[in-house]
Amino acid sequence: MALEDIRNERLAKLMRLRELGIDPYPAHTARTHTGQQFLDNHAALEENHEAVALAGRVMSIREHGGSMFVDLFDGTARVQNYLQKDGIGDEAFELFTGTGDVGDIIECTGTAFTTRRGMASLSVGSWRMLAKSLRPIPDEWFGIKDEEARYRMRYLDILLSKDLADRFRRRSAFWNTFRRYLLERDYIEIETPILETATGGADARPFITHHNALDIDVYLRISVGELWQKRLMVAGLPKTFEIGRVFRNEGMSAEHAQDYTAVEFYEAFRDYEEGMEMIIKLYRAIADEVYGTRQFTIRDHRIDFDTEWGRYDFCALIKKEFGIDPLAAKADDVRGVLAAQNIPFDENGFNLERGIDLLWKQIRKTLTGPGFLVNVPVYLEPLAKKSAVDARVVERFQVIMAGSEMGKGFSELNDPIDQAERFKRQQALRDAGDAEAQMNDASYVEAMEYGMPPAFGFGVSERLFSFLEGVSVREGQLFPLLKPKDGA
């Protein structure tokens, strides 16, 4: 039957309910137990003949003459309900057969019993419509196969897939592990602006919008308030964190989305060496609390969080692989290596920074980890403190795992003169066509001139979650962005 015919048939059933004076969408339910509570306490409920009211979506109906089995699912568990004429009366039974459908949300009241096959069930004495469905849900055995359709109707995708529903429960546990870990260590959770007059904290192309009340163009943030959180170090709040959305107007891939969730946290009077030890403990806590294991297979890489985390030297790796020293190279040198290696690059806005980053990305995909990438040149990181051992590199690390980057931490730059000079270099790159170079935030430098303590900062996005799940970033999101259907 065509969808429109099914919908018209269900509309007729809806009208019948209303004609009988029955509200098909009541606000109140008399539910006494969730499905899971009913199953967990079934033996006692059956022994005591206690009245029970369950509510949930009708997932299946199996008719047997004057009786039927109706499976209800309320998001906690699926429970079999037994309806028979002798139990609910002819009128109520015929009302269900005449107006009820798979997909409806109903309430059933009765008593617990066990079938001859040993299934915990509810013997129904009465039923009530809570929400009449007008569209049929797909067959749960086949689900929705088309990827775009699954994303567009994610609510059905989750309804029909316990594995997917469990994934989003793990996503909640993933972020709450960060939150709990930091709160237990006296960090305070803060909120920073999403609309900014200058973006900061990352090399990325921002989204631009217009603020009508102030009549100015503003940007959606590209980091979780990095420069704002470091202002709070100046303010005397030594430990802060934020979990929130980030927006980057860039390409899409299995690892990249344009809006996504990330966490950033900052702690005064700590450096990146201490930070690395903290991150090892934090990632192990995530593995333990969310997955119950520290061993993962991700994109043909076997990852063991229990192993000793290695260190990868950025400059040494590039020099070994491509024969070029990032600390001495010029843009034309890098351009020549990229061409010789047949590595695509964009001449528009090309510079040393982008070229060296492209070389690094060829190496990164071969590294399993877990480990830390260190000794990154100063020109690649405008916000990290220079190394006390070699002022040509910064005290920055990136978590390397399964051929990708899974978080980044610094000894934060707190020298306002140095910061102003690096912002000036970034602005020159922007003026030359590099849309991802960082903006000059003079107000941040001004705050730093009041005195910012040495600090450690770290950030990681939901890419880590998607990797641990073994799926793309979009598959790990509840509602990934899609083009409007049929131009609507």
Could you list the mean pLDDT of each consecutive 10-residue stretch along the chain, which spans 488 residues?
94 98 97 98 97 98 92 97 95 96 98 96 98 90 75 93 96 98 98 94 90 96 96 98 96 90 98 97 98 95 96 97 96 95 89 94 95 97 96 97 96 97 92 87 96 98 97 95 77
Residues 290 and 412 grouped into a single domain: yes
Residues 277 and 373 in one domain: yes
Does some domain include residue 57?
yes
| Domain shared by 108 and 232, yes or no | no
pLDDT of residue 451: 98
Tell me the β-bridge partners of 63. Answer: 68
Strands 404-411 and 376-377: unpaired
Which single residue is written with the structure tokens 């030890």?
277
Q: Distances in Å between the alpha carbon of 32 and those of 25, 43, 108, 120?
A: 19, 16, 10, 17
Show the tokens assigned to 200. Answer: 């900061």
Same domain, 166 and 68: no
* Cβ count near 13 (within 10 Å): 19
Which residues is 303 bridged to in the sheet?
Answer: 296
Q: Estimate to the nearest angstrom the gap between the alpha carbon of 413 and the chain centroid.
A: 29
CATH number at residue 65: 2.40.50.140
Q: Which of the listed residues 131, 146, 170 is the one where a domain comes to its end?
A: 131
Residue 347 has a pLDDT of 87
| Strands 259-268 and 120-131, sheet pairing | unpaired
What's at 406, amino acid-wise? M
Radius of gyration of the chain (CA): 29
Where is 385: in which H helix or E strand? none
Residues 168, 288: one domain? yes
Type of residue at 65: G
Q: Which H or E run includes 257?
A: none
The residue from 93, 113, 131 where one domain ends is 131
Quote the pLDDT of residue 435: 82
Task: Give a yes or no: residue 30 inside a domain.
Answer: yes
- At residue 487, the pLDDT reads 54
What's the pLDDT at 144?
72
pTM value is 0.92
CA atoms of 259 and 262, how far apart (whole Å): 10
3-state helix, strand, coil in the chain (%, to 5): 35, 25, 40
- Answer for the pair 244, 377: CB distance below 8 angstroms, yes or no: no
The domain that holds 256 is classified in CATH as 3.30.930.10
Within a 10 A sphere around the Cβ of 212, how many other Cβ atoms?
A: 7
Residue from 207, 209, 210 nearest 222 by CA: 207
Is 82 in the same domain as 20? yes
User: In sequence order, which residues have a C-beta less than 8 Å from that of residue 400 and are 6 or more positions away?
Assistant: 312, 364, 367, 369, 370, 371, 372, 373, 406
Q: Quick count: other Cβ atoms within 10 Å of Cβ 166?
A: 11
- Does residue 294 share a domain with residue 426? yes
pLDDT value, residue 143 = 63
User: CA angle, 236 as apex, 232 and 238 as ends, to 5°?
Assistant: 75
Q: Check whether residue 415 and residue 454 sit in a common domain.
A: yes
- Alpha-carbon distance 423 to 430, whole Å? 10
The CA distance from 476 to 453, in Å, is: 37
**Contact of 360 with 319, CB cutoff 8 Å:** no
- Count of domains in the chain? 2
Say if residue 303 is in the same domain as residue 241.
yes
Residue 323: the pLDDT is 96
Cβ burial, residue 253 (10 Å; 0-12/13-18/19+)? exposed
Largest CA distance in the chain: 89
Angle formed at CA 112 by CA 110 and CA 115, multiple of 5 degrees: 120
Same domain, 305 and 412: yes
Residues 401 and 458 in one domain: yes
- Say if 140 falls within a structural domain: no
Residue 410 to residue 386: CA distance in whole angstroms = 10
Answer with the one of 112, 131, 150 that is the final residue of a domain: 131
d(C-alpha 120, C-alpha 38), whole Å: 9
Residue 172: inside a domain, yes or no?
Answer: yes
Residue 333 placed within a domain: no
- Looking at residue 140, its pLDDT comes to 64
pLDDT of residue 97: 96
Query: Does residue 147 lie within any of the structural domains?
Result: no
- Rounded Cα–Cα distance for residues 350 and 435 (Å): 10
Provide the pLDDT for residue 485: 80
Q: Determine, yes or no, domain membership for 319.
A: no
* Token reading at 222: 């590209």
Task: Classify residue 456: in a domain, yes or no.
Answer: yes
Range of the domain at 472: 159-309+369-482
Residues 260 and 400 in one domain: yes
